[in-house]
Amino acid sequence: MSFINSVLKVFVGDKSEKDVKSLQPLVKEIKSFEQQLEGLSHDELRQKTTSFKARIDED
């Protein structure tokens, strides 16, 4: 079975690699938000938290 699995991985690919590849665009988007928030002060972050909570309550 091990030999068959390794041959299949060569031709079909590994499921975990496919999963990681499909998630990469989302990871890049999240990292872009991280860069925006790094420069904020503690008070600005508190204000963001308040606005996020208000947006959640609206939905």
Residue extents of the structural domains in the chain: 2-58
Task: State the DSSP H helix or E strand holding residue 18, giving kind and residue range, or none if neither.
Answer: helix 15-38
37 contacts 48 by C-beta, under 8 angstroms: yes
Query: Residue 3 — pLDDT band, cuts 50, 70, 90?
Result: confident
Neighbours of 48 (CB within 10 A): 13
How many angstroms from the chain centroid is the CA of residue 53?
A: 21
| Nearest CA-CA partner of 49 in 41, 32, 7 | 41
Question: With 70 as the cut, is the pLDDT of residue 1 above it?
Answer: no
Model pTM score: 0.51
Amino acid at 33: F
| pLDDT tens column, 6-31 | 777 777 777 888 889 999 999 999 99
